[in-house]
Structure 1
């Protein structure tokens, strides 16, 4: 059953604020753990360089893999029971799992808990679905762009806070701190998010095939899913080699970790600034134009990244890339809500999340494989080719104008 809500009109602006805070806290929670994940794997008894690298990659990727599997199920449940209860389930479930991670005694327990974390996740896609079905359609781009900055803002704390806490309090306590952050997210969602939702009987739910046939343009929606996946592949392909590439550019400097952390963070700062503004611009000129332009600009920035000679040059280009990338996922999400109904929004956003998770898994693997065979600089050229394909593919798919006049359903 859904939680009782006030029968008064929904204040979507307040919900947007609280959902932003929830995405921020979720971003903070995951950023606290990520910096020392390999150290915790080593702490659990994994030794040897190759074994440590292998297990670190597995425990990192398995969360996204299981999230991709579970997202459609949770999306269907959200369409049947409501989005708020899915937010509560996700925040509380992840909080409990984080506590258990802090008590893990071997790598197999930790691996199973990382898989469970993926199964129970989904706060961000459900927050997107909730806001997308409440906000006026002509403000969708701005609202979803603003919401996307919540997770980005939280993740920007990664290079600093997580490592500091691990150094100060040890590895295990950070999991308990993370659990407390996620539980705070649960409390804010419970008392501050409002949703008027009438539960739908299971027999009245559309099946997966009916969901696709109910779309005005199913081919377009499927192309947007693929676009989401490629965006994440492009982002993830650079992540494994960034620090090593910076070392190649900077030489043996004493503050390599600081320089790498700064270069890793600047795209997030740029996205934080650009996402709401480009989302608002997309509401005026069309998110499809924003999407295509941002993809083309990304290609034009990735190519010179393969030719830079200093970390400063790389940092400037990554800042500009972040400003363009900040528009990509909000533009895709806006187009998804333009081309679907509120009845199936939860599943549409969950399918999109599954494709995003697949990109999160495959991107780092592609980047690592290319760099091992052809060098770091080739990774940027290969990524540029992938993004160029995405731009052409999206342009072909979006040639038919999107209906942005459809009003929000009651």
Structure 2
């Protein structure tokens, strides 16, 4: 059978990566639109009761994480069985319908159902990661995952600003815009996205015992070092929850920052992260390798968190942002190392397992950091440690460094199909 010319193969890879990048960007923008709007819409449904709205908001957030935990492995294995393209297209279309459903929700319970569906369709992030592993040579995967992460970061940077602007006109308008963005992304993929997983590299059958969250985690145990690498990723994902959870409360409590400073801080720190992920991951991997950039990222993240927790004034806090930005090395380096350890027909399962762990982090993080921050504030008179929650996050990354030191070693990429995966 004749092979495609290298230039043609590169062209296919570029078109595919373009869709995955655009999909990640537009999906994260659509989620970012919700950040400043959803709590206020919930509050509107509760008749202006702030306490009730806060409780519902926690329920919405934890349910969304739970859906990621449950559905991520299913979509990941489904993409190993039927291919990446149909899963991505169906998920993008479903996401557009979900946003439209939420835009038109007449009651709080209808809005909650929409959030459940939203969490289920957003679990296709695992398939996007598997697609990248399919079309990218092993030595370039860390760079590609860095670009993918930068798309998510940039989307969450732009989304809240756009959501706040649109929400000033109507709390429903951002949902309609998010539906339109994801519908356009679905159409873009329908027209240009090629399949990345040929028939001969797919699973022979879909196996429910492996597609459930616990079953997907067994994949991590079945390959040398994979579970430990996934543990590093989980510790990082859990630590990352601290800033979305307590940043606004922490900085207003400790530094008395007004809203305009908060508004400037988000884009400044976000842009630093995007620069690291988009422009520095590739050269860093080429010079130092995946192992070292993971370790550098863990050190930078831990020191950055300890800096944030110790800063006695707002200017000192901001000086820690360039250091913390290098924590953006962690996930691209880990993804590069992890994808080397599984067969082509297990990439979707791997990404699904990772998404399950992220779902657990999304569920636990608000409880761990929200409660620890509240406890530190209540005991400020004796404890004098308002940054306790942030110190805990720094400790998690220090632990991640210790684990990564022993296991984050390069591995000869596995190219053979894994027969056991089809059982």
TM over 0.5, shorter chain: yes
2:296 to 293, 306, 313: 293
1:402 to 395, 410, 416: 410
Per the alignment, residue 190 of structure 1 pairs with 190
Per the alignment, residue 5 of structure 2 pairs with none
Cα RMSD over matched residues? 2.5
Per the alignment, residue 235 of structure 1 pairs with 240
Map 1:218-297 to 2 at 5 A.
Answer: 218-251=223-256, 256-276=258-278, 277-297=280-300
Query: How many angstroms does 1:204 deviate by?
Result: 7.7
1:385 corresponds to 2:395? yes
Per the alignment, residue 359 of structure 1 pairs with 361
Q: Structure 1 residues 214, 181: closer, same or farther in 2, change over 3 A?
A: closer
In structure 1, stretches of 5+ residues that fail to align are: 1-7
Per the alignment, residue 4 of structure 2 pairs with none
In structure 2, stretches of 5+ residues that fail to align are: 1-7, 378-385, 418-423
Q: Which deviates more from structure 2 when the two are superposed, residues 98-107 or residues 37-46? A: 37-46
SS at match of 2:297: helix
Per the alignment, residue 3 of structure 1 pairs with none
Contact 1:279 1:327 (C-alpha < 8 Å) held by counterparts: no
Map 1:62-73 to 2 at 5 A.
Answer: 62-73=63-74
Distance 2:92 2:217 in 1: 29
Distance 1:324 1:285 in 2: 14
In the TM superposition, what whole-angstrom CA distance separates every residue of 1:336-368 from its partner, at most 9, and x where no partner exists? 111111111011011101111211221122111
Q: Structure 1 residues 50, 189: closer, same or farther in 2, change over 3 A?
A: same
TM-score, normalised with respect to structure 1: 0.89
Distance 1:365 1:133 in 2: 36
Per the alignment, residue 350 of structure 1 pairs with 352
TM-score, normalised with respect to structure 2: 0.86
Per the alignment, residue 370 of structure 2 pairs with 368
SS at match of 2:336: helix
Contact 2:127 2:352 (C-alpha < 8 Å) held by counterparts: yes
Map 1:115-264 to 2 at 5 A.
Answer: 115-168=116-169, 170-199=170-199, 200=202, 202-203=204-205, 208=210, 218-251=223-256, 256-264=258-266
Query: How many angstroms does 1:250 deviate by?
Result: 3.5
Q: Structure 1 residues 136, 407: closer, same or farther in 2, change over 3 A?
A: farther
Per the alignment, residue 53 of structure 1 pairs with 54
Contact 2:32 2:158 (C-alpha < 8 Å) held by counterparts: yes
Q: Which deviates more from structure 2 when the two are superposed, residues 218-227 or residues 206-215? A: 206-215
